[in-house]
Structure 1
Amino acid sequence: MPEMMSTDRALLDALLDDTVLAHIGFISDAHPVVIPTGICRIGDRVLAHGSTGSRWMRLLATGIPVSVSIATVDGIVVARSAFESSLHYRSAVLFGSFSPVEGDGKLAALDAFTERLLPGRTREVRPSSKKELVATSMLALTIDSWSLRISDGWPEDPEHDLASDAWAGVVPIERHAAHAKAAPDLRQGIAVPPSVERLATEPPRL
């Protein structure tokens, strides 16, 4: 539906910042491939990371054309009929190609990923080792070609259903973190850190 399409870059950025999982689509050996992977937006770039041992990451690093799909569900639209019921959602597809991020930019990008999930966590843990950096592939896609779709309206019941006794409205869906569970091998006396405690009061970006 044309009315759901948007060209507002700020709305795209908001969706990217609310999402950490994307599906990257591309063609390999004449076959379509879609891989789920974590993402993070930094300015005008979308970052994706994975293992240097992954053949898919190595293929993406060559600059092949890709599409990057993201979506989040914000509510359930409850209409007076099953046919008119739907979802509140935001979805986008970005088009382009990835290029490798190397050097100091790679370390900064990895830290950005960590801070994206757990703000403040990089100050609570040791820096990444050289071995870990070598084992990690970091790719970047420039945000310059994209399509954004937003559904956020009320039920659109036809006139003949308005007199129905069926309830109609919207049920918002909110994301929140549950109580943190300590690892079985955690040493005694180590308290839950501020980065984790903060998740209880600030909705996680998932």
Structure 2
Amino acid sequence: MTETQRTRVRRNAARGHYDIEQIRAVLDSNQICHVAFIAAGEPRIIPTLYMRRDDYLYLHGNREAALLQHLAAGGFVCVSVMTLDGVVVARSGFHCSMNYRSAIVFGHGEKIPPEDHEAVLEAFVATLVPGHETAVRRATPQELAATAVVRIPINEASAKIRSGPPIDDEDDIDANVWAGVIPFAPHVLAPEAAPDLADTVALPDYIRNYGPVR
């Protein structure tokens, strides 16, 4: 992907990535993004669930939401995604950092074809809880009418990734200070049944074996 003035990584430029496969991998490592846009002349930023399919990011929500209306009208946004992989503990406070995978996407919103509406919403369920889309009932016409689905093309984007140990100054290497990385990993706890769930409803394997996308 060609870098632009908006997507070029300037600080620690060697950590920047413009290859579409790398950008896709970062986007697929998470499910929550932050979307920045201008509404009524003021900056806004909204955290929301997203889904990547091919080279589009899909968002959904209430049709009355300002972000969804902005995107449905072709409004411009910046999308940010970040997955934290660890805390980097250096021998000086200046060099303490984090290991992460991040990506930004700039683009204009697009409405999706009406005939794809229900299938995309089903795909959202499959992305959030794989397997659950086959267990739940179909969305009602009222639910479909209340939910907007938009997409943002991934054609202006970049990734920035840091990995590895701390990078300390040579003069600090012999300091009597612990240095290294505290890795982060997703941790899924045992499922908690809804208080009104009937005792006869068994825990499905796709819930028992649930793990977040990484």
| TM-score bucket of the superposed structures, by smaller chain | over 0.9
Give the aligned length. 203
Provide the C-alpha distance between the structure 2 equivalents of 1:119 and 1:58, rounded to a whole number of angstroms.
28
2:127 aligned to which of 116, 133, 144 = 116
Q: CA deviation at 1:178?
A: 0.6
- Asked if the contact 2:98/2:162 (under 8 Å) is kept, the reply is yes
Asked if 1 retains the 8 angstrom alpha-carbon contact of 2:34 and 2:46, the reply is yes
Deviates more, 1:17-26 or 1:136-145: 17-26
User: Alpha carbon RMSD of aligned pairs, Å?
Assistant: 1.3
Q: How does 1:33-182 map to 2 (within 5 A)?
A: 33-182=44-193
- Please tell me whether residue 185 in structure 1 is matched to residue 196 in structure 2: yes
- Show the counterpart of 1:195: 206
Q: Give ranges in structure 2 of 5+ residues lacking alignment.
A: 1-11
Does 18-27 or 97-106 show the bigger shift?
Answer: 97-106
C-alpha separation between the residues in 1 aligned to 2:125 and 2:161?
A: 28
Equivalent in the alignment of 1:205: 213
Amino acid at match of 1:111: E
Which letter does structure 2 place at the counterpart of 1:171? I
CA distance in 2, matches of 1:189, 1:131: 30
CA distance in 1 between partners of 2:163 and 2:106 (Å): 24
Alpha-carbon distance, 1:23 to partner:
1.1
Shift of residue 103, structure 1, vs aligned partner: 2.3
Query: What is aligned with 2:33?
Result: 22
Q: Which amino acid aligns with 1:18?
A: S
SS of aligned partner of 1:204: coil
Partner Cα distance (2:16, 2:161) in 1: 6
Secondary structure in 1 matching 2:142: helix
Q: TM-score, normalised by structure 2?
A: 0.90
- Provide the C-alpha distance between the structure 1 equivalents of 2:135 and 2:75, rounded to a whole number of angstroms: 37
Q: 1:12 to 1:188 in 2, by over 3 A?
A: same
Residues 57 and 152, structure 2, Cα contact 8 Å, conserved in 1: yes
Percent sequence identity over aligned pairs: 35
SS in 2 for 1:83: helix
Distance 1:30 1:149 in 2: 29
- Following superposition, the deviation at residue 189 of structure 1 comes to 1.5
**Contact 2:39–2:66, Cα closer than 8 Å, also in 1:** no
Distance (Å, rounded) in 2 between the aligned partners of 1:16 and 1:168: 30
Distance 1:44 1:193 in 2: 32
Deviation beyond 4 Å, 4+ runs, structure 1: none
